[in-house]
């Protein structure tokens, strides 16, 4: 064993790409996300992607896209559901516990502190102007996060044929238009998208058999 591997085996704080995921490393990763993911769910999602997919390679982008899809059709707070499923996937039931603790404890403490300060200064005009510009930055990060979410879906469906790729694009555009124009319940759009996707996969499989 090399000196670097020995150091990684004894020091849970030293996490590098492809380092095996342990309970300690999982907790420390979520703790860092909880401390640094200012800006709400979109920012936290971006941090999750950056750490678990691109930095440490503990999840693939397709595995994460499947986790998101599963959580979107369930009621409740999606971010908590992401944390639970990722923790279970990487370290079992104890992984759920350490993941939730790592994410919630620092963010809850910081939120309480910031809220107490905001109550005192929220009427200040400079504070209001600053918050309006912050929303623009959050929107930009939301776009980057959502692109990372849909990229593996586009990639896998493009490999399976033009029909599935076209249906995927159509579901994205159609769902956005239906939501803006008619504002239906979100679960209706999920069911609509799922039905269209199931029909497209069935048609693609039928064509493959015929060929």
Cα distance between residue 189 and residue 139, in whole Å: 22
Rg value, the chain, Cα: 21
Cα 64–Cα 68–Cα 73 angle in degrees, nearest 5: 155
What is the pLDDT at residue 16? 66
Q: How far is CA 142 from CA 28, 41, 132, 148, 150, in A?
A: 24, 9, 16, 10, 12
In this prediction, residue 97 carries a pLDDT of 96
pLDDT at 9: 45
The domain limits of the chain are: 11-146, 160-211
Per-residue pLDDT of the chain (211 residues; tens, 9 = 90+): 444 444 444 445 566 666 889 999 999 999 999 888 876 778 888 899 999 999 999 999 889 988 988 888 777 788 899 999 999 999 999 999 999 999 999 888 888 888 888 788 877 777 777 777 777 777 888 888 888 888 877 777 677 777 777 888 888 888 889 888 998 888 888 888 888 888 888 887 777 777 7
- 0.85 surpassed by pTM: no
Largest CA distance in the chain: 70
- pLDDT computed for residue 14 by the predictor: 61
């Amino acid at each position: 064993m090399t000196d670097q591997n020995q150091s990684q085996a004894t020091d849970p704080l030293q996490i590098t790409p492809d380092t095996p995921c342990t309970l300690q490393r999982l907790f420390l990763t979520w703790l860092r996300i909880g401390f640094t993911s200012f800006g709400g769910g979109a920012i936290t999602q971006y941090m999750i992607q950056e750490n678990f997919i691109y930095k440490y390679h503990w999840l693939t982008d397709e595995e994460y896209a499947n986790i998101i899809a599963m959580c979107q059709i369930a009621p409740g707070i999606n971010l908590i559901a992401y944390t639970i499923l990722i923790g279970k996937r990487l370290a079992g039931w104890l992984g759920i516990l350490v993941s939730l603790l790592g994410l919630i404890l620092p963010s809850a403490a910081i939120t309480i502190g910031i809220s107490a300060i905001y109550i005192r200064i929220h009427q200040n005009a400079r504070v209001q102007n600053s918050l309006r510009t912050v929303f623009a930055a959050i929107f930009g990060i939301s776009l980057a996060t959502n692109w990372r979410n849909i990229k593996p879906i586009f990639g896998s469906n493009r490999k399976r044929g033009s029909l599935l790729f076209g249906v995927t694009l159509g579901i994205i555009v159609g769902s956005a238009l239906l939501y803006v124009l008619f504002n239906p319940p979100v679960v209706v759009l999920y069911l609509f998208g799922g039905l269209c996707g199931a029909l497209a996969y069935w048609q693609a499989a039928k064509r493959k058999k015929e060929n």
